[in-house]
Amino acid sequence: MREYTAVEVEDIVRTEVTFDLEKLLREGARRMLEVALEVEVAEYVKEHREERDAHLRTTNPIESTFATVRHRTRRTKGCGSRIATLTMVYKLTTDAEKHWQRLRGSQLITQVIEGVQFIDGEMKKAA
């Protein structure tokens, strides 16, 4: 076995302590950055909650509404009676309804049905 001098032992100890200290500091800095980033993201989300984009992500909202029901009823076709199928469709629809988004301007649907005309989202004034 090799014998080390006092200077060599001191260098080895200093190197290990320095390495451990650097590792500790880096881990602490990493934790601080994670917490700071989480806080910043939470504040940003809270600040811009109302500005979120309200697009529908679909070109056919009616078809998309019942897609979950359609996908599941195809898999179970021929299983059970008519009443069982209707019950399943009803349950799937009520469950899917929890995730539906209200369309913007839904309160204007009655006016559209009555024949009121809208131009660029504004109600057309009577002539």
What's the confidence (pLDDT) of residue 24? 81
Same domain assignment for residues 40 and 72: no
Residue 109 lies in a domain: no
| C-alpha distance from residue 100 to each of 53, 62, 105 (Å) | 16, 11, 15
Residues 6+ apart with CB under 8 A from 123: 111, 116, 117
Same domain assignment for residues 8 and 46: yes
Query: What's the number of domains the chain is made of?
Result: 2
Same domain assignment for residues 67 and 48: no
Same domain assignment for residues 2 and 48: yes
CA dist 90 and 82 (Å) reads 12
Residue 15 lies in a domain: yes
Would the pLDDT of 103 be above 70? no
Same domain assignment for residues 72 and 35: no
Give tens-digit pLDDT for 20-70: 778 888 888 888 888 888 888 888 878 777 666 555 566 676 677 677 777
| C-alpha distance from residue 77 to each of 71, 90, 94 (Å) | 11, 15, 20
CA dist 113 and 98 (Å) reads 26
Would the pLDDT of 100 be above 70? yes
Q: What are phi and psi of 118, to 5 degrees?
A: -120, 135
Highest mean pLDDT among 2-6, 61-65, 71-75, 88-92: 88-92
Residue 127 lies in a domain: no
In DSSP terms, 118 is beta-bridged to: 123
Confidence of residue 127 (pLDDT cuts 50, 70, 90): low
Same domain assignment for residues 68 and 48: no
Structural domain that includes position 35: 1-52
